[in-house]
Chains A and B, each alone.
Chain A
Amino acid sequence: MTLGVTMSEPAILDTLAPPATEAEIINVGLLSAARIGARGVIARVSAFEGALPAAELERRLLELGFVEGATVEVLEEGLFGRDPIAVRLDDMRVAIRRREAAAIQIRFDPKGDA
């Protein structure tokens, strides 16, 4: 089933492409390690085996809007272990535990506090 968009669309290629420069590599990290104020663009969503099968967690993250190319910013942290975190995800806000946030790779904005 196609929705009229293929993998060759520039928007997707752009976001899935590996970081080109060394400066960008340094700035890539996991959302699970991000602190308040850190912002950037989702570089990759790749889930791991955990409470849910990896493929299921990946789809859930995608369905909630954690998709390559979306912008994220860590807004709030919980009191205990700074967990969970509240993030701005494009134009909505989402709460997520750091455990699941480890499936989300971010290319952090160099100006951020990451």
Chain B
Amino acid sequence: MTDTALAPTRLALVGNPNSGKTALFNALTGSRQKVANYAGVTVERKEGVLTSPSGRVIQVIDLPGTYSLRARSPDEAVTRDAVLGRLAGETPPDVIVCVADATNLRLVLRLALELKQVGRPFVLALNMFDIAQRQGLRIDLEGLSREIGAPIVTTVATRKRGIEELVARAEALADTMPVGENVWHEPSAAEIRHAHAEAQRILKAHVRPPERPDTWTSRIDSVLLHPVGGLLILSAVMFIMFQAVFAWATPVADLIEAGFTWLGGAVATVTPEGLLRSLLVDGLIAGVGSVLVFLPQILTVFFFILLLEDSGYMARAAFLMDRIMGAAGLHGRAFIPLLSSHACAIPGVMAARVIDQKHDRLTTILIAPLMTCSARIPVYTLIIGALIPRTTVWGFLNLQGLVMFGLYAAGILSGLVVATVIRTAFWRSASEPFMMELPTYRWPDPENVARNLMQRGMIFINRAGRIILPLMVLVWVLSTFPYPPQGATGPAIDYSFAGMIGHFIQPLLAPIGFNWQMSIALVPGMAAREVAVAALGTVYAVGNVDGAGQATLASILHTQWSLATGLSFLAWYVFAPQCVATLGVVKRETNGWLWPAVMFGYMFTLAYLASLATYWSAVALGWG
């Protein structure tokens, strides 16, 4: 066995969801991890490396959680194919580590019986063994090991207990145990029943039920899953999360923005006037800044999501929201991504990975940008402030506030309508039943939360950033080149590609009441929604739109735009995909340009139709 010294030994972690598999993966590999996608699918591939005490290099793969090797989703198909050694482009694992929650053995025993059929050496890791001991659960390890035909190691991943023994066992298996014949095939219903009976028999023979079973989960559930109280608590949790995004993330995002503005200014003073300075300051520095500025929101949203997932509350939130979301054909778990999208669609789209089923996840991603993100607020405030009178309606409602509320409601309603249309028109047959385990409540492990949070941040910077940055630079190129001719009087942007595109598409936008200034502003406005405000400032030659500049711009709009035009512009911003960063993240999350293209197409169509209807209704009402 001299070969093993050369090629790294490969371990694959397999287990039920909620078995602490990822915690074990973290305990094994520490910070030596990398996250990528499996070729051709959107399933995340987590791999880590460790060096065993004997000096051997061991590669560990954390496979998606599953109850059976019979795959029902793309994630589970990856697990099945990896275990069977038929995953394209992957070396089959030398040893499989079957990770079990020691307090919940029934289902994992059935999985272990399936693994036994595969013929590859495997070791059963009884994780969370400390909790099992505390509950007085007695497990006859030797007998159990004999029954499943694999060594057993007890572990406490969060305290790094049993890790060395697990590694040693796996090494021994890799060296001594030959790969047996694979007799696994997709089990029929009768075979699953037999396997259950077999697992039941093994449990009865070798596991004595806990003397002090966990009663906390039931007690907590009676409060958190209470039909009315549970929904109120969920609203409170979501309210806190939403507040945190604005209270914690927004100041940091502002700081990052200010930092990059300062950096841009500093670089501008040391570089000569001209193309290089513009590329550095307005293209690259502003571009990098525009990627990093999303980070605080992403981290805040994922901080909450990780706490909710690790504690076991996420499944409860899905339970509570299932009926409401189900009315629009969405999964209960779609609630959190969609709520996050009210801060920013980017963490929302990324958060959609809490949904296992492909079609449910895609539907959620497609409607996420319809939720009113915080970048729309500057646009809405500017137009509402400029064109909607500050009057009181029905005695107590502020008309401006009412319009703002209407825009939020329009986003949510249209999202639900689009989801319903997608589910009934395109993916009707793919509707998935809602069935899932409600895991035992646990305290989230701070180290795991921190590590996973860091991973999310890195994925965003590395992967999404690589798409967003070039797109940002492209927008800069379009708004900068070519330069205005000598002695030009209009704003520089008027002479650029953006100006040309704006003038070119103006006839198309005239029916919805947009003038050429607005058409031009839409081009740089693709960078991000709030950029449209600055772009309008540029075309109306206001200069800096902060503070007094914004008031100047508002008064210009007040005199130059009709109410119908303003309302049409608002309707446009409810629907239009004016954000390349979102499209970039959708590309990364769906692993291709198909879905961002679909999103782009349907949102522009909706935006155009909504603006058209709004404009002509308003004109008919005499607001033209």
Interface residues of A (CB under 8 A from B): 1-7, 9, 11-12, 50-52, 55, 57-65, 67-69, 75-81, 83-84, 86, 88, 90-97, 99-100
Contact = CB atoms under 8 A, between A and B. Distances in A.
A97 B434 contact: yes
B200 A95 contact: no
B221 A91 contact: no
A92 B192 contact: no
Given A94-B437, A96-B435, A64 B183 contact: no
A56 B194 CA distance: 17
Given A3-B195, A69-B200, A58 B189 contact: yes
Contact of A63 (B68, B117, B226): B68
A3 B67 CA distance: 18
Given A11-B200, A65-B107, A78-B227, A93 B70 contact: no
A5 B434 contact: no
B198 A52 contact: no
Nearest to B72: A60
Contacts of A58: 189
Interface in B181-236: 183-185, 187-198, 200-201, 209, 213, 217-218, 221-222, 225-228, 231
A81 B191 CA distance: 35
B319 A95 contact: yes
A76 B460 CA distance: 38
B227 A5 contact: no
Given A12-B197, A59-B192, 5 more contacts: A80-B324, A83-B323, A86-B225, A86-B438, A97-B322
A95 to B, nearest CB: 5
Given A62-B193, A64-B437, A69-B200, A3 B113 contact: yes
Contacts of B324: 80
Nearest to B213: A91
A86 B322 CA distance: 12
A30 B225 CA distance: 22
A77 to B, nearest CB: 6
Contact of B435 (A60, A78, A81, A93): A60
Given A3-B195, A95-B319, A64 B431 contact: no
Contacts of A6: 194
B201 A5 contact: yes
B432 interface: yes
User: Interface SS of chain B: helix, strand, loop or mixed?
Assistant: helix
A81 to B, nearest CB: 7
A97 B57 CA distance: 47
Contacts of A2: 194
Interface in B43-98: 67-68, 70, 72
B70 A91 contact: no
B104 interface: yes
Interface in B430-474: 431-440
Contacts, number: 146
Interface of B: 67-68, 70, 72, 104, 106-107, 110, 113, 117, 183-185, 187-198, 200-201, 209, 213, 217-218, 221-222, 225-228, 231, 315, 318-320, 322-324, 326, 429, 431-440
Contacts of B432: 51-52
Contacts of B227: 76-79
Nearest to A64: B435
A90 B319 contact: no
Contacts of B225: 75-76, 86
A93 B440 CA distance: 8
B323 A76 contact: no
Given A60-B72, A84-B323, A93-B438, A67 B429 contact: no
14 contacts: A1-B117, A3-B113, A9-B197, A51-B429, A62-B193, A63-B70, A69-B197, A78-B319, A80-B324, A92-B106, A94-B436, A95-B436, A95-B437, A97-B433
B191 A3 contact: yes
A92 B437 contact: yes
B75 to A, nearest CB: 15
Nearest to B107: A65
A93 to B, nearest CB: 4
Given A51-B432, A64-B437, A93-B437, A78 B193 contact: no
Nearest to B117: A1
Contacts of B191: 1, 3
Query: What 6 A-B pairs have minimum CB-CB distances, sorted nearest first?
Result: A79-B227, A93-B438, A76-B225, A80-B323, A62-B192, A67-B196
Contact of A84 (B68, B198, B322): B322
B435 A61 contact: yes
Contacts of A88: 218
A69 B67 CA distance: 19
A80 B187 CA distance: 36
Contacts of A75: 218, 221-222, 225
A51 B331 CA distance: 14
Contacts of A79: 227-228, 231, 320, 323
